[in-house]
Structure 1
Amino acid sequence: MKKLFLTPGPSELYFTVPDHIQTAMREGVASISHRSKDFEKIFKLAVDGVRTLLEVPENYHIVFTNSATEIWERLIQNCIADSSYHFVNGSFSQKFYDFSKMMGKNAHVMEVALGQGFDINNIEIPNEVEVIGITQNETSSGVAFPVEDIYQLRNQYPDKIIAIDAVSSVPYLNIDFQKIDSLYFSVQKGMGLPAGLGVWVFNEKLVEKVNELKAQKIPIGTYHTIPGLLKMAAKNQTPATPNVLGIYLLGKVCEDMNRRGIQVIRQETNYKAALLYNLFESNNLFEPFVKEKKHRSKTVAVGNLIGQSASEFLQKLGKYKMEVGKGYGGKKESQIRIANFPTHSKESIEMLVDLIEGGKLI
């Protein structure tokens, strides 16, 4: 029995990926030119697959970068002349805020403690803010930002760019793209792929903004600018040599997930999340870290450990060929983080719960 990774990223590969990698090697996918017709077909398959899976409107662009981390920088360079606003409740939302400050922007922040969500009714975003940065699913702490709150922000601030970090919530996240302007993710979490690819979805508001910056002679970066990405995407190509294998695998896995059906994936995710949070609430080895249910992530469940460290827990779990994530940063030994992505079957989560409830990991 091979080891099962219930880690929040990188995570378990989607179960079809090994076969797709073998096919790619036989067909020489990793060696083809990114200016070839074969690559253009690969690019289009991936874009079409993402569009179908996430229900992205036709008037939204889809482009590829090296990572979601890169997209933070590209967003700042291409869309912010002066000011940004960030909702910070964990390490990844903090990093986007830090990036904006490091790049000389006037970065505003609403920060709450780890494990907490936001009361958006008590928030006033300054007029000068151009981009609102939201981490929809904070991987470090297991806190989700409800889509209803995102929609409320859109109603309150219709002229501002709303940019969603969906790294650990795609493809589960069910969001109305017409109520946001940008969404981005990397593929090593919910998509179940090897790391090394970022996917950026955005609308014309970002294109208009980067044109404003260019007109003001504000530098927008060198490669992977929005104009450069769009120019090449129109030809189903990329500005620089991309992760061709990663784009190929993304297209294939999107096909697989679309055959399975996004509604089925979401229903199974809800079922598995209910098992995990019930475990945290009912078993004396844990307590749920996120107290308010509406802010609990369905895709990364975080529990406080009682009576043992994360290292001790993982050592016991490892005997059963399973691995979950430790807590993040300062919570490394006091918490565990359990991924709940499409590749994690109902049976695997049930097996984990049965092991714990059966007293095997005491």
Structure 2
Amino acid sequence: MPQTYFTPGPAELYPTFYKHLQTAMDEQIGSISHRSQRFRDLYKFADEQLRTLLTIPATHGIFFTGSASEVWERMLLNCVEFESFHLVNGSFSQKFYDYANALHKHALVFEKPFGEGFDAAEIQVPEYAEVVCLAHNETSSGVQMKTSEIHKLKRKYPKKLFCVDMVSSAPYPDLDFSIIDSAFFSVQKAFGMPAGLGVWIASEACLTKAERLQKNDSLTIGAHHTLPTLWKHYKTFETPATPNVLFIYLLGKIAEDFNRIGIDTIRKQTEEKAKMIYKFIDNSDAFEAFVKQERHRSQTVVVATTQKPSAEVIAGAKAANMVVGSGYGKFKESQIRIANFPATSADQVAALLEQLTN
């Protein structure tokens, strides 16, 4: 009997993935040239579907990378001359900060303990910070920053570029791209695909900054997939180098499926399933919600502290053909993480919660 994956990525494959993959094989999508009209058409299709799904305006380009982690480096090289500012409250927001240091940027940080969230009112962005780097959803700790708080902070600092990690939440967050400059995600989480494709959304303001930095002989904005190069090829729906053509095709098809359902419905379903999970945890003697402040609790990655070793909980679920994630890093043995992505239904969530009562 097949297993149902509630892991936070790679995660359960979206139900239509198999059908789209078969069509791609039948049409030999994996063999077409990235300089062909067929590829331009499928890039354009994916672009159109993502624009509709996430309400991305014409001022922003949509680019494909090897992973979401690659975007940390691309964003820092292309949009930071001297100074970046990072909101850190988990392992992945920490890695964005670590990348800045590795690239010899002057990286400043406002840090919260693992499991705690941010509100706009408490954040002071340093005067000379060029880019504000933050996570909408911290995959490691199950903390989410409300989009209303992100927007509030951006309006307070309108001249700063804002880059939002929505790796384990897209397409759930309703980011306002009329004010948010950049965001990125990967496909192996809420889009229900295998790993191997990152998506970078960046504004013309980011491009302008990259073009200015490119003229500075004492700086490098990279030798591979620079924003000006990506954008130049994007104008004709091409890529600088051979991309993951198959996954771009599949992403376009799954985004189309999401659009048929409607993003408002997907968001509502996500919140209803999250409510089920948190209600179960809050009423359970065996589990405790790791994120104490309800307004900071993730709707897409629920983290619970377990009374018994998490390995026992995970083994029990696996025996019932359900796979949940372990805690991240030092919390591996004392927490579980339950992904709440569109690929799993309310009935599947209910079945998991029933199993966790045993």
Tell me the TM-score normalised to structure 1 length. 0.97
SS of equivalent residue, structure 1 residue 178: coil
Equivalent residue, structure 2, for 1:254: 255
Equivalent residue, structure 1, for 2:355: 355
Structure 1 unaligned blocks of 5 or more: none
- Is 1:344 the counterpart of 2:344? The answer is yes
Equivalent residue, structure 2, for 1:229: 230
- Is 1:274 the counterpart of 2:275? The answer is yes
- Is 1:314 the counterpart of 2:314? The answer is yes
Mapped partners of 2:261, 2:123: distance in 1: 40
* Residues 36-57 of structure 1 deviation map (CA, whole Å, 9 limit, x = unaligned): 1111111111111111111111
Equivalent residue, structure 2, for 1:140: 140
What amino acid is the match of 2:249? Y
Equivalent residue, structure 1, for 2:220: 219
CA displacement at 1:127 relative to structure 2: 1.4
Contact 2:301/2:340, CA 8 A, preserved across alignment: yes
* Residues 39-79 of structure 1 deviation map (CA, whole Å, 9 limit, x = unaligned): 11111111111111111112211111111100000001100
- Is 1:27 the counterpart of 2:34? The answer is no
Mapped partners of 1:5, 1:30: distance in 2: 26
CA displacement at 1:305 relative to structure 2: 0.2
Mapped partners of 2:319, 2:124: distance in 1: 51
Mapped partners of 1:53, 1:241: distance in 2: 26
What amino acid is the match of 2:63? V
Mapped partners of 1:317, 1:150: distance in 2: 36
CA displacement at 1:23 relative to structure 2: 1.0
CA displacement at 1:122 relative to structure 2: 3.1
Matched residue count: 357
Mapped partners of 1:215, 1:319: distance in 2: 59
Mapped partners of 1:122, 1:293: distance in 2: 17
| Stretch of structure 1 that moved more, 25-34 or 84-93 | 25-34
CA displacement at 1:337 relative to structure 2: 0.3
SS of equivalent residue, structure 1 residue 177: coil
Equivalent residue, structure 1, for 2:285: 284
CA displacement at 1:118 relative to structure 2: 2.0
Contact 2:186/2:197, CA 8 A, preserved across alignment: yes
Mapped partners of 2:60, 2:118: distance in 1: 28
Contact 2:137/2:168, CA 8 A, preserved across alignment: yes
Equivalent residue, structure 1, for 2:175: 175
- Is 1:198 the counterpart of 2:190? The answer is no
Equivalent residue, structure 1, for 2:42: 42
What amino acid is the match of 1:274? K
- Aligned Cα RMSD in Å? 1.0
SS of equivalent residue, structure 1 residue 216: coil
Percent identity, please. 47
CA displacement at 1:119 relative to structure 2: 4.0
What amino acid is the match of 1:244? V
SS of equivalent residue, structure 1 residue 127: coil
Equivalent residue, structure 1, for 2:324: 324
Which stretches of structure 1, 4 residues or longer, exceed 3 Å deviation after superposition? none
Structure 2 unaligned blocks of 5 or more: none
CA displacement at 1:216 relative to structure 2: 2.3
Mapped partners of 1:151, 1:64: distance in 2: 25
Mapped partners of 1:9, 1:126: distance in 2: 34
With over 3 angstroms needed to count, the CA separation of the structure-2 counterparts of 1:261 and 1:119, relative to structure 1, is closer
Mapped partners of 1:119, 1:38: distance in 2: 45
Equivalent residue, structure 1, for 2:239: 238
Mapped partners of 2:237, 2:123: distance in 1: 41
What amino acid is the match of 2:37? K
- Is 1:84 the counterpart of 2:84? The answer is yes
CA displacement at 1:152 relative to structure 2: 1.7
SS of equivalent residue, structure 1 residue 170: coil
Mapped partners of 1:332, 1:115: distance in 2: 14
Equivalent residue, structure 1, for 2:14: 14
Contact 2:119/2:145, CA 8 A, preserved across alignment: no
Mapped partners of 2:10, 2:241: distance in 1: 25
Mapped partners of 2:165, 2:122: distance in 1: 22
* Residues 66-104 of structure 1 deviation map (CA, whole Å, 9 limit, x = unaligned): 111000000011000100000000000000000000100
Mapped partners of 1:87, 1:181: distance in 2: 16
- Is 1:105 the counterpart of 2:113? The answer is no
- Is 1:94 the counterpart of 2:100? The answer is no
CA displacement at 1:105 relative to structure 2: 0.5
Tell me the TM-score normalised to structure 2 length. 0.98
Mapped partners of 1:225, 1:353: distance in 2: 45
Contact 2:317/2:356, CA 8 A, preserved across alignment: no
What amino acid is the match of 1:295? H
Mapped partners of 1:262, 1:71: distance in 2: 25
SS of equivalent residue, structure 1 residue 199: strand
CA displacement at 1:121 relative to structure 2: 2.2
What amino acid is the match of 1:135? A
Mapped partners of 1:73, 1:171: distance in 2: 22
CA displacement at 1:177 relative to structure 2: 1.1
